C-alpha cells in the first residue's frame, strides 16, 4: 500500500499518466512517508457516456 | 460528493444510463438532501466473462 | 450483479439508507431489467475529514 | 455479499478467471461461511499503461 | 498488482482474514503467475445496515 | 470528475490529508487540465489487520 485509484471521464495521454503517477507517488512519500516502491496507482478512463454529473451524462450537449 | 459507482455485467444503452443517472441523482437529492450538482455517477460495464456468481463466470451456459 | 457503491461524506440515517436502497433497486429493475434479488448496494460513510473537493477537506470552515 | 474485486494490469485467460473465481468462492465459503451463491467476483483488466508502481507505468522498459 | 478488494457485511475474525489472504494470494500465484509479494488484499467490513440486497438492508428482520 | 480514491493501511493526520489533497488536486489541474473544483478525493484508512501483502496481514510481526 498505498493503493490509489484515479477515475476520469475521457482519456489521458501516456505522458500525462506518467507525470501524474510520478507526482502522486512523490507526494505520498514526502508527505506521508510511504515508500515509493509500495505505491500502486491505477487509472480508469471511462467513456463520457458512462459518467454523470447533476443527473446528466457528460457526452450531452 | 456523493460518488456513486454502478457496476454491471453486460452493457446498458445510452438511454438507460441517462435515465438511471437522472433517477439516482433525484433520489439522493430528495431523500438525503444532496444537491444534484454534487452527485457523480460512474458506470462500469464489464464483459460477462469478467463477472462470476457462485463461482461461475456469467458467460457460461 | 448489479453492484452499486454509494460513497458520501458524513452519515445517513437508517431510514435514508433504506429508502435510497429501495429506490435504486427499483430504478435498476424498471429501467434496466435487473432483477431486484441480484442488486447489491453498499454504502460507505466517510468522515468529512476524509473527503476533499477542490483541494479542501470538507470539515474545513 | 461478499463482493470481491480483482484488479490486475494485463489480461487473464478465460480459464484463469474461471479457476480464480471458483477458488476464491470456495475459500470464502469454507473459511468464512459465505454461501457460494451470494459471492460476486468482478475482474478488472487494466492496460499496463494504466498501472504504476513506484511512480513508473508498467509498460515502461 | 494485483489489488484485491474483499467487501462483506458484518465482520471477520483476524484468523479468517489471515487464512483468506493466504489462500487468495496462493490462488493468484498458482493460477495466474502473480508473485505473492505483489499481491495486495484489502478487506472492507461494512455494518449490516450499510448493505442492501433486493432493496432491503441486511439488518432487517 | 476526476474521482480519486486513496487507500492506505493505518492512518494519516488531518494535516497530511490536507496536504495530499491539495497536491493531487494541483497535479490533476496542472498536468491534465482538470479544474480543481471538479476533483473529489476520498481517503480510506484501513486497520492494518485488514490489509495483506504477500499473504500476510500487515499487523503481523
Taking CA–CA distances from E43, the nearest residue in chain F reads: F50
Q: Where are the domains of chain B?
A: 3-57
Of F44, F53, F60, the CB nearest to E40: F53
pLDDT band at A61 (very low <50, low <70, confident <90, very high): low
pLDDT of residue F61: 60
In chain B, whose CA is at the least distance from the CA of C28? B20
ipTM (interface predicted TM): 0.96
Chain A within 8 Å of D54 (Cβ-Cβ)? yes
Residue B48: pLDDT band with limits 50, 70, 90: very high
Q: A45 — contact with chain D (CB < 8 Å)?
A: yes
Question: What class has domain D3-57?
Answer: alpha beta
Q: What percentage of chain E has pLDDT greater than the value 70?
A: 98
Taking one residue from D and the other from E, the number of pairs with CB-CB distance under 8 angstroms is 70
The position carrying cell 433517477 is B23
Q: What is the pLDDT of residue E13?
A: 98
Residue F2 in this model has a pLDDT that exceeds 90: yes
Residue D61's pLDDT is what? 60
- pLDDT digits 0-9 by tens, E1-19: 899 999 999 999 999 999 9
Q: CB contact, 8 Å: B59 with chain C?
A: no
- Nearest CA among B41, F20, C57, A40 for reference residue E42: A40
Interface test with F, best of A17, A32, A43, A53 (most F CBs within 10 A): A32
In this complex, do D27 and E32 lie within 8 Å of one another by their Cβ atoms? no
Q: What is the pLDDT of residue E1?
A: 82
Question: Which residues have CB under 8 Å from B5's CB, separation 6+?
Answer: B41, B42, B44, C4, C5, C7
**What is the pLDDT, as a whole number, of residue B39?**
98
Query: What is the per-residue pLDDT across C36-59, written as a single tens digit (0 to 9) for each?
Result: 999 999 999 999 999 999 999 999
CA angle in degrees (0–180, nearest 5) for F56-E27-E14: 35
Q: Which three cell numbers stand for residue F53?
A: 501483502
pLDDT at E60 over 90: no
Cβ-Cβ pairs closer than 8 A, A with F, add up to 69
CB contact under 8 A, C6 and B2: yes
Other beta carbons within 10 Å of C26: 15
Q: Taking CB atoms and an 8 Å cutoff, what residues of chain A touch F20?
A: 27-28, 31-32
Is the Cβ pair F54, E44 closer than 8 Å? no
The predicted-structure confidence for C11-34, as pLDDT tens digits, reads as follows: 999 999 999 999 999 999 999 999
- Across the interface, whether the CB atoms of D27 and E27 are under 8 A apart is answered yes
Q: Which residues pair with E4 in a beta bridge?
A: D6, E41
CATH topology classification for C3-55: Macrophage Migration Inhibitory Factor (3.30.429)
CATH code for A3-53? 3.30.429.10
D54 touches chain E (CB under 8 A): no
Does E8 contact C at CB distance below 8 Å? no
What's the rounded mean pLDDT across residues D20-40?
98
Residue A21, chain D, CB below 8 Å: the answer is yes
Amino acid at each position: 500500500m498505498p493503493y490509489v485509484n484515479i477515475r476520469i471521464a475521457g482519456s489521458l495521454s501516456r505522458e500525462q499518466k506518467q507525470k501524474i503517477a510520478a507526482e502522486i507517488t512523490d507526494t505520498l512519500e514526502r508527505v506521508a512517508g510511504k515508500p515509493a516502491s509500495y505505491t500502486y496507482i491505477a487509472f480508469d478512463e471511462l467513456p463520457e457516456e458512462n459518467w454523470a454529473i447533476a443527473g446528466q451524462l457528460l457526452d450531452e450537449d
